[in-house]
Structure 1
Amino acid sequence: MLVTYKYYSLLFEKDFPNLRFGRPRSDTCSKCDLYQNKIKSIPLTNPERKQEAQKLELHHHKAEKARSTMNTDITSSQTIDSEDNTISIDWEQVLFIPTLTHSDMFYSRQLSCFNFWVHLSNTDDAFMCIWDESITGRGGNEIASCLLKVFSHPNFPKRKNLVMWSYNYWAKQE
């Protein structure tokens, strides 16, 4: 018997209405994950479920407001007469060297390389600060050193104000 997609879809929707397929998400917000898991673990009839759903909705609203404010800052800094530099910063994924996937290498110690990214919204330039774990870790001093290096670069525009957005930070704060 040949099982068609339509048959499978109908069966899946009927027997498992609360389950969904989707691409695995990476780099998700811990607060979103926490609220989602709380909501899923509370029975539908429990009033606490609605409270958790409202908390998640409020969190999403705050994140959208932050995104909107960031987009306004970026647009504003791109005007010719703007006195603002708007930059976005983020840690990129840790890179492992050597990049080999066979089982012998997978469980061996590899060298971690860190990548701190700075994007200048008004010029569309980007800077990557890259180093490996034998030099240092990835803490506040390393971020400050990267920013100092970028700010002193000849391509960094000299303007009166600096607006800085961190992609991994704004969505998590309340």
Structure 2
Amino acid sequence: MRPSLHATFCHTTSHLLFATLSLLTMGQAVADEAQTYPDAYMKSHPQTQQAFQHATKPLLNQHKWVANYGTASPVGKYEQDGLIYTVITGCKPHDCSSEQYIALVDIHSNVRGALIRERQRASGTLTTTTFDWFGDVDDSARTLILKAYSAAQ
């Protein structure tokens, strides 16, 4: 497993949950028959649950809320270049504006994602955003996650 990579950007505050909606509209969204939240999804997909736990383990010392998926959005599906991803998102309970995550799960239950932390400066006008990558994030997954994030700006 590669060590976590960090990228820092300065910009105005935005929310990853809105970025996820952008992600789902950038490619071809795949319709789900019913809304399923991460906890229920993981119970019915134990291999993915195990992969998520393994991928996010390095985050848990400082971000314990990720283990229980946080305040989560319904699980989505996204297709790009013939690949279908399950999209799992959540944010820190009672603090969604400062910590969120997005995880992409492929057909083989490989989990790739980012914990995104936003910190506002004392002036209130500028935010520092840090991406803590988890799982085996390749260039393709990183590009999808950053596109979704940038689209929300």
Write 1 or 2 for the structure with the bigger share of strand.
Answer: 2
Larger Rg belongs to: 1
TM-score normalised according to structure 1 size: 0.25
Answer 1 or 2: higher relative contact order, Cα 8 Å, separation at least 6.
2
TM-score w.r.t. structure 2 length?
Answer: 0.28
Higher share of residues assigned helix: 1
